[in-house]
Homo-oligomer: A and B are copies of this chain.
Amino acid sequence: MSDNASGRPDPAPLDVHDRLGHAVKRAEQALIGEKSRVLRTVDLTVPQYVTLLALHRAGGMSGAQLARECLVTPQTMTTVLTNLEHKGLITRETSSVHQRVLVARLTRSGRALVKKADALARDVEQRLSDAFDDAERALLRELLDRATAALRRPDRPTD
């Protein structure tokens, strides 16, 4: 692989900052950083907010469903749900159709909070959106989707 016999580091230096992936990373970091900042004012983390939002859209959901929806593992979702339950924002009850399944639902205060949090998060999303015109938005989305597809490992089916 790395023929060091010549003592020459033949792979070019290639600063990380030159790579395209770094631009993606910086954008994502700026996005999540801003969302974290505004959501902290209502004492929520980004994953907690995303989970509440999914529950608000879909009503009762199991932990496994939420994990798939929010793009995290079931183990991660377990801890997020535990924290949300301790905050009194959700309840979890065993499903009527499957004894093993715990269905999470928003409580009254959970419903109230998710609306407040979504207004805050939406402002951030709006700032992002406002940086582009319609054509640019569509273009950026298309390029990002292509990047995502290119990076998915070959033997795994899409999403």
Contact = CB atoms under 8 A, between A and B. Distances in A.
Nearest to A19: B125
Interface stretch (A59-67, A82-90, A95-103, A133-141): A133-141
B115 A11 contact: yes
Contacts of A15: 57
Contact of A153 (B3, B21, B37): B37
Given A122-B11, A143-B132, A116 B148 contact: no
Interface in A1-57: 1-4, 9-11, 13-16, 19-21, 23-35, 37, 50, 53-54, 56-57
Interface residues of A, number: 65
A144 B27 contact: yes
Given A20-B137, A23-B141, A116 B1 contact: yes
26 contacts: A1-B115, A1-B116, A1-B119, A2-B112, A2-B116, A4-B115, A9-B115, A11-B122, A14-B56, A14-B57, A16-B53, A20-B128, A21-B35, A21-B124, A23-B145, A24-B28, A25-B31, A26-B145, A27-B28, A31-B147, A130-B150, A131-B146, A131-B147, A132-B143, A139-B139, A140-B140
